Amino acid sequence: MIARFIVYQRERFPVLAHGPLIAAFSASAMCFSALLRGSGHFPSWPLLLSGFASSFIFFAQLRIADEFKDYADDLAYRPYRPVQRGLVSLRELGVIGVAGALLQLAIALLIDPALCLILAGVWAYFGLMTKEFFVSRWLKAHPVIYLLSHMFIMPLIDFYVTAFDWLVARVPPPAGLFWFLAVSFVNGIVIEVGRKIRASEDEERGVETYTVLWGRRAAPLVWLGAVLATGGLGVAAAAQIHFTLPGELLLGALAAAAAWSALTFLRRPTHAASKAIELMSGVWTLGMYLSLGVIPMAVRAGSALVQR
pLDDT above 90 (res 2): no
Summarize the confidence of residues 129-149 as an average pLDDT: 91
pLDDT above 80 (res 305): no
Summarize the confidence of residues 4-9 as an average pLDDT: 93
pLDDT of residue 246: 84
CB atoms within 10 A of CB 75: 13
Q: Taking the CA atoms of the chain, what radius of gyration do you get in angstroms? A: 20
pLDDT of residue 88: 95
Domain 1-34+44-174 fold is Tetracycline Repressor; domain 2 (1.10.357)
Q: Give just the sign of the alpha carbon dihedral 46, 48, 51, 54.
A: negative
pLDDT above 80 (res 307): no
pLDDT above 70 (res 308): no
Please state the domain extents for the chain.
Answer: 1-34+44-174, 176-303
pLDDT of residue 304: 65
pLDDT in tens, 16-58: 889 999 999 999 999 999 999 998 889 999 999 999 999 999 9
CB crowding 187-196: b at 16 or more within 10 Å, else e: bbbbbbbbbb
Summarize the confidence of residues 185-193 as an average pLDDT: 96
Return d(Cα 15, Cα 56) in angstroms, integer: 9
pLDDT above 70 (res 153): yes
pLDDT in tens, 47-65: 999 999 999 999 999 999 9
Residues 6+ apart with CB under 8 A from 43: 30, 31, 34, 51, 164, 165
Cβ atoms of residues 288 and 234 within 8 Å: yes
Return d(Cα 204, Cα 32) in angstroms, integer: 41
pLDDT in tens, 222-243: 999 999 999 999 999 999 999 9
CB crowding 121-160: b at 16 or more within 10 Å, else e: ebbebbeebbebeeeeeebeeeeeebbebbbebbbbbbbb
pLDDT of residue 106: 98
pLDDT above 90 (res 141): no
pLDDT of residue 54: 97
pLDDT in tens, 266-300: 999 999 999 999 999 999 999 999 999 999 999 98
Q: How many CA atoms lie within 13 A of 172 on its CB side?
A: 2
Return d(Cα 69, Cα 63) in angstroms, integer: 10
Query: How does DSSP classify residue 44?
Result: P
pLDDT in tens, 81-104: 999 999 999 999 999 999 999 999
